[in-house]
Structure 1
């Protein structure tokens, strides 16, 4: 059964963040809070962990639409091709926030994603998620645990998330009740914003 502990978003406990990062570094899977729905994540550099998440989601790793959760825009250049000023301005305006931006992928993408032309980037407005990624030193891969068929509480109540996912992951973080609205997905890979999915993030900023 997965570990389960509470982290308070207002003031995440550094010792607990260290515990989370230790689990990620040894290839563990975590369920953690974001500014939208709870996410399922692992260290982007750990191939075995990436394969596990793809299996859980029933997708081929190379084709999976996972997002990269980054701490801020500074490590974007590791994974994203040069972007122009207008695109960067949109990112600066919107992030951290409930958006996933699809951007042109660079040659430095981790192995399973090497052939991809684009990559989804998230910088969630949630101190727990951001502290984890900052301490880890590289992005975590993320996919939401949102499930159209499932009872709503199983994706928003941490104790019920533990009940449903406890045998599949190594840690469920209780960061309080989650939201049930996913992020707004915007494709910026061609320069002009194209809204792929309207979610929690307002479209007014474009």
Structure 2
């Protein structure tokens, strides 16, 4: 059963953040709250964790996983961004948006879309997530925790623990969590295309 970590939403306890990050580094799978609902998270090199996420969410190989980044500098190491995309993304981050962009050589091929060589990236506006990223020192490979057959992400830690605790290594509960998925914006064609409407203001990209 997953360890249940009750973390302060504004001032996350370093001890608990350290425990969660230690699990990530030991190839654990965690569920954590973001500004757009709960997400499943693993370290980038965790192959087994990737398969566990696919099993929980019943995903195929064409699914875009998301690299959750601490800041724009970290994001820029993972994807190719032209000047127009740079300005638009910079103005919208941090926030509840996921951006689909061509991946750089820093991204393992198994994390890219198999044909397009693209990947999703985002910078959440959430103190807990920022604390995790600061302690880990690298992006977290994530997928929004939307169960098969559902359209919205899970939003309450105790529900995640009750339903999925047997499939996870840790559930982080900070009491505060967004209730809608991110707005997804695809920049791979050269101009922004909103492919999923969610918590973010999509009009700025239309």
TM-score (norm 1): 0.90
Displacement of 1:57: 2.2
1:95-134: CA deviation from partner (whole Å, max 9, x where unpaired) = 1100000111122311413655211001111111121122
Matched, 1:175 2:178: no
Matched, 1:34 2:34: yes
Give the Cα–Cα distance (whole angstroms) in 1 for the partners of residues 147 and 58 of structure 2.
13
Q: Distance in 1 between matches of 2:163 and 2:199?
A: 25
- Taking the aligned partners of 2:172 and 2:3, their CA distance within structure 1 comes to 8
Q: Which residue of 2 aligns with 1:85?
A: 83
Give every structure 1 segment of 4 or more consecutive aligned residues whose post-TM-superposition deviation is greater than 3 Å. Answer: 147-152
For residues 52-201 of structure 1, the aligned pairs below 5 Å read 52-60=52-60, 62-81=61-80, 83-113=81-111, 115=114, 116-147=116-147, 149=149, 155-201=154-200
Tell me the number of residue pairs that the alignment of Structure 1 and Structure 2 aligns. 203
Distance 1:19 1:191, change over 3 A: same
Structure 2 unpaired stretches of 5+: none
Q: 5+ residue gaps in structure 1?
A: none
The Cα RMSD (Å) is 2.1
What are the residue-to-residue correspondences of 1:3-42 with 2, within 5 Å? 3-42=3-42
8 Å contact 1:158–1:177 — kept in the other structure?
no
Measured after TM superposition, the shift of residue 56 of structure 1 is 2.3
Q: TM-score, normalised by structure 2?
A: 0.90
Query: Residues 28 and 49 of structure 2 are in contact (CA less than 8 Å); yes or no, is this contact kept in structure 1?
Result: yes
The answer on whether the counterparts of 1:185 and 1:198 sit within 8 Å (CA) in structure 2 is yes
1:100–1:121 Cα contact (<8 Å) kept: yes
Quick one: distance in 2 between partners of 1:148 and 1:200? 20
- SS across alignment from 1:191: coil
CA deviation map 1:152-199 (0-9, x unaligned): 8x9222111100010000000011143331110001122311110111
